[in-house]
Every structure is written in structure tokens, then in C-alpha cells.
Amino acid sequence: MSELQLKDLYDGFRNPDTIRSLAKQIADEAKNLKMPLRIMEVCGGHTHTIMKYGLPQLLPDTISFIHGPGCPVCIMPKERIDHAIALAKMENTILLTLGDMIRVPGSKTSLAQERAAGYDIRPLYTPMDALKIAKENPDKRVVFFAIGFETTTPMTAAVIKATIEQNITNLFFHINHVLVPPAVDAIMADGKAQINAFIGPSHVSVISGAKIYQPLPDKYKTPVVVSGFEPVDVLQGILMIVRQQVQERADLEIEYTRSVTMEGNTIAQKLIDTYLQPRSHFRWRGIGDIPDSALEIRPEFAYLDAEKIFGDILPNEPIDDHKLCICGTILKGLAKPMECKVFGTACTPNTPLGSCMVSSEGACNAYYRYAGVLA
């Protein structure tokens, strides 16, 4: 597909007339709702689309959005960031990680601050670059601080596979890959957020398949629609949710059929299962310990596991967020960014107190960035 064809395709998914038409259709059909719709968009990418295009302003008051925990940078607890900092400070070490992780505050400092202090901390454009960096620096330990949901996990597994096959002996992995369904189940089991529908993450579902969300309608009787990230996708997903509620159904449906199937990418799933396994527990920022909600390297590959090899220098105690930061409450769907006392004042993308403001997928970042849309 040419660049012009791609532009035409995505312009279609952002077409103002189509957006207005869908919004009107939703408003008309929502008149038949028996109760207000409280929809959690699990993924931070959906949050940014919703805020950027002003979708709440286009929809009736009976439909509201609840921001979920689907931002891998936002959910990372401070003690895990302190792990990365401790690893980066080891002699003759290069620490690698992705994107916004470098700017997230730990208990006392951030990777960005430690990089400015002279430690060799590098952002990766692709995890495969870790192989090249390790080969170019055979006299140094290279540690890949891997993060992300199911979307990015196959790439980490591929790097582990290549490390073994190419007999690279100076590359190690600190695994922080987390899973969507256990976190959402923990929020629903808590019951405080009063969610009655979900927009399911689409990129995650490309890998894992939409089937991973089936327990939500089965257990909690909540509709789940896996939607793409364009505004037309999101509105079409909301329309599908409205129709389910009006018809008193609670089903798992796929709006993003051009990329998502029920089964997902089975080759990627097999690759992940070869090198990684569920952890017994993992602490999520603001949510707490969630059993089987993250992955770790399988025991047979422990010689690559930075947590095992360098465990004696890694802090173990949980560390709370800044007292003024309500990021954890936002991740649980219990508050909006505007409710935070330091939002937009002491806490901005340039001076973040919490991870929800740092990450390009964070809810606070979305509200701050698109404040003009909200006005």
C-alpha cells in the first residue's frame, strides 16, 4: 500500500462527517439505555484518542469514560525503576530500555537524571538493537530493562532467542512484561469503579487474541468490544456496546476486525511461552500485588535473568508514590486527572511527579496535552 493510500485510509477513520454521524447514531440509540454506561478504555492509546478528538463532548451524558491500567510505563512501581537505576550504576554496565521509561521517577531519582550524571543508559528504538549493542561492547555487561504488555512481549522473547542462538554472553534481561486480563479482573473484583462495559486493547489482542477477555462477560456480565485506535473505530466500538446494553447482552465482540482475531498470533504466543512464564505475583502501581499478572524468564534460561544474577543489589521493599500524586487512583478507574491537586501545576510532562503524566500513553498526559479540547 502506497503512502497516499495509507493517508486516504486513515483520513477516512478520522473523517469529521463520519465522526459526527456515528456520534448522532450513538446518541439516538443511547436513549433506550436502562442505566448509564460507564465504559473503561483499558489502553492508554484509546484514552489519547478519546481526549484528542473530544469524544466525550460528542456523546450524551449517559455515557462516560473510565481510564484503565493499560499503560505499561504508568503501572511500573517505583521499586522496579529503582532496580533499573541500581543495575545502571554497576561498573562497566550499559542499561537499555524503551521510550518514556527513562523519565519515570523512582524513589529518589530517574534513569534520565542518572544518565545526565554520566551513567550509560540508552533508549532503544527497537529491542533488537540490544543484540548489536552487546556485540559492540563485549567488555561490558548490557542489561535490557524490558517493559510492555502482550504487544511488545514477543520482541523481547525474540531477542532472548537470538541471544542464545548467537552465543552472546554479556546481554542480560530484567523482565517487566505485564498482562492485561489479571489487572482488569482485579479492578472488577474490587468493585469500586462501577464499570459496566469495556473497550478492549486492540494491539494487545493482535498478539494474544480477543479470547483473553472472555472471562469479563462470563464472570461480570460486562460487554467487551475490542476497538482500533482511530476515532471512528472507538465510536463504532461504543455503538456496539450501546447495542449490547440495550439488548441486555454481555458479549465479547471485535470492532477491529482488520487486525484482530479471536485466536491471535499463535506463532508469537508460542515464542513467548518458550522463554517466559507467569510470575507468582507482581506489584502494580496503585493497584498492588496481582497474582499471575506478569512474566519472568523460565528457570532454564536463568543465566540471562538480571533479577537472579544481580539480585543482591536490587531493592525489595515496596515504595509508595509521592503523597500528592493520585496516579494509582486514576489507574484503578476511581479518579480523573483533573481531580489531582498538583495536575498542571507542580506536575506537568516536563516536571512529572507521577508516571501517568510522564508516559505518552498516560491519562494525565492526555488531559494535559489536550486541555484545549476540554475547554
pLDDT score at 10: 53
* C-alpha–C-alpha distance, residues 369 and 358, integer Å: 12
More confident residue, 12 or 78: 78
The whole-model pTM stands at 0.92
- CATH architecture, range 15-325: 3-Layer(aba) Sandwich (3.40)
Examine the pLDDT at 172 and tell me if it is beyond 60.
yes
Q: What is the mean pLDDT of residues 10-39?
A: 93
Q: Using pLDDT thresholds of 50, 70 and 90, give the confidence band for residue 225.
A: very high
Rounded to whole angstroms, the Cα distance separating 70 from 362 reads: 9
| Residues 366/372/373/375 CA torsion (nearest 10 deg) | 120
Over 50: is that where the pLDDT of 375 sits? Answer: no
Q: How far is CA 142 from the centre of its chain?
A: 25
Q: Break the chain into its structural domains and give their ranges.
A: 15-325, 327-374
Q: What is the mean pLDDT of the chain?
A: 93
Residue 373 is predicted with a pLDDT of 40
The answer to which of 140-149, 177-186, 317-326 has the lowest mean pLDDT is 317-326
Q: Span 131-149, mean pLDDT?
A: 97
- Res 3: pLDDT: 53
Q: What is the pLDDT of residue 211?
A: 97
Burial of 6 (0-12, 13-18, 19+ CB in 10 A): exposed
